Structures are given as C-alpha cells and as structure tokens.
C-alpha cells in the first residue's frame, strides 16, 4: 500500500507543480493554457499557484523525511479543498473538461489523505 500511496503522491505532485508554477510564476502562459485565468484577478491566480506549490512540499517532504508525517495527509486535504473549489468554479462556468481533471485530482488527494492517516 505504501508504494501505491507514493505513486499517487508523485502523480499529484507532478500535476500541482506544473499548474502551480504556471499560475504563480508564468501568468501569461497560464492565460494561454486555461481560459478562466483571464477572468480571475492576477493576484488570486498567483495565490492559488503558490498554495498548490506549498501543498506539494507538504505532500512529499514530511512523509519522505519522516518529520511530522501527519502533515502529508493534512497537505493532501488542503489540495483536495483547492481542487473542490476549482471544480465548483468550473461547474458554474460550464467548463466540463476541467471538472474531469478536478475529480481525478480530488480522488487522488483524498486517497492519499485517507491512506496516510490510516497507516
């Protein structure tokens, strides 16, 4: 089970590093990648991106270093909340393709949170 959880954590980390980096530091590239970015204040987009990047650190580092490993499921829950808010936002805008990605990442984040809490 530990290996499956690490695979899920790695998958989440890669996805959130990509999206978080674009949102936080590559605003113009984010606008080209996602239409919604143009309709949201730049500071909010940057905040979401930084939150995702910090979540990635919390998702990997505490578990890998075995220093306060309870932070890993906590970070997974935080990322799940970000994704859930994103899904609601996309539902309101009728962006159904984006919702599929949100559901996949929500499921992965909840799987990691529950799996690490129960271990």
pLDDT exceeds 90 at position 97:
no
pLDDT (mean) for 44-66? 97
Looking at the structure of the chain, the number of domains it has is 1
What's residue 83's pLDDT?
97
Residue 59 pLDDT: 97
Separation CA 76–CA 98 (nearest Å): 20
Helix (H, G, I), strand (E, B) or coil at 106: helix
| % of the chain residues with pLDDT over 90 | 95
Secondary structure class of 69 (helix, strand, coil): coil
Alpha carbon distance 88, 90 (integer Å):
5
Instruction: State whether the Cα torsion 61-63-68-74 is positive or negative.
Output: positive
Structure tokens at 56: 């990635």
User: Residue 107 is part of which domain span?
Assistant: 2-118
């Amino acid at each position: 089970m530990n290996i499956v959880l690490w695979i899920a954590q790695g998958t989440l980390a890669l996805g959130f590093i990509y999206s978080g980096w674009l949102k936080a530091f590559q605003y113009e590239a984010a606008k080209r990648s996602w239409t919604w970015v143009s309709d949201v204040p730049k500071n909010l987009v940057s905040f979401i991106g930084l939150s995702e990047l910090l979540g990635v650190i919390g998702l990997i580092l505490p578990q890998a270093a075995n220093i306060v490993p309870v932070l890993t499921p906590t970070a997974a829950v935080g990322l799940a909340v970000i994704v859930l808010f994103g899904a609601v936002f996309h539902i309101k805008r009728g962006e159904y393709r984006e919702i599929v990605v949100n559901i996949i990442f929500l499921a992965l984040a909840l799987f990691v949170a529950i799996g690490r809490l129960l271990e």
